[in-house]
A = this chain, B = another copy of it.
Amino acid sequence: MNIGIFGTGMVGQQIAAALTAQGHSVMIGTRDVSKSLANTETTAMGMPGFGAWHKDHQNIQIGTFAQAATHGEILVNATSGAVSIEALTSAGANNLGSKILIDIANDLDFSKGMPPVTKTTDSTGSSVGEKIQAAFPNLKVVKTLNTMNAFIMVNANLVENGNSTVFINGNDSEAKKTVTGILESFGWKDIMDLGDITASRSVELLLPIWLRAWSVIGNTPFNFKIVR
């Protein structure tokens, strides 16, 4: 299948590599292709810059946001929540059409240092998922995977043999079924459907405790589980 991914960061890289390894044709979209490819500096998280990473992943195409939107039958938003609407606007509503958009974004404000502050609140419309769905009503937005680190997203077995929970929500049941198939291909077994797109608030609001838990646990893989 053709897949378009918005965002060149750690999340976009992991999702792109995992879907490519499964045989999908992946294009990563970015604001400025030559600038992204020129970025070879190691990130604050110790990850390679996009240009350095892409040298080892030449089978993954790179294009503008609009080109990635056109390429993908299924789209993935792996941009920072603060710029997601801007990136999707740049991709063009016509190119986005009524495709499935898997939204993994979190709206984190790093301007006051670490840990970043989550800007999502529990007020109606506050989440990135709801904002995207409202701005692009034809898109089938499915929120998922935003509650764990990027390596675990595409390999659930990194945490206790897959014994943790991934959440999913969105307005379109068929779109959620399609995305559930993709999640299963990443090893997810406990896929919890929280309902419509308004549930995006509840999963984006897991970031504050994720960041606290990370500061306590360190880099050992961990994840949430709803025990029942």
Q: Determine if A217 and B228 form an interchain contact, defined as CB atoms under 8 angstroms apart.
A: yes
- B208 near A202: Cβ-Cβ < 8 Å: yes
Interface status of A205 (Cβ within 8 A of chain B)? yes
User: Are the C-beta atoms of A209 and B202 separated by less than 8 Å?
Assistant: yes
Chain A 214-228 interface mask (CB, 8 Å, partner B; 1/0): 011100111111111
Given A193-B216, A222-B227, 10 additional A-B pairs, CB 8 A: A117-B122, A159-B228, A160-B228, A195-B216, A199-B212, A205-B206, A222-B228, A223-B227, A224-B225, A225-B225
Query: Is A213 interfacial (CB 8 A cutoff)?
Result: yes
How many angstroms between the C-alpha atoms of A159 and B227 in the bound complex?
7
A96 close to B (CB within 8 Å) = no
A228 near B221: Cβ-Cβ < 8 Å: yes
**Contact call A227/B164, Cβ cutoff below 8 A:** yes
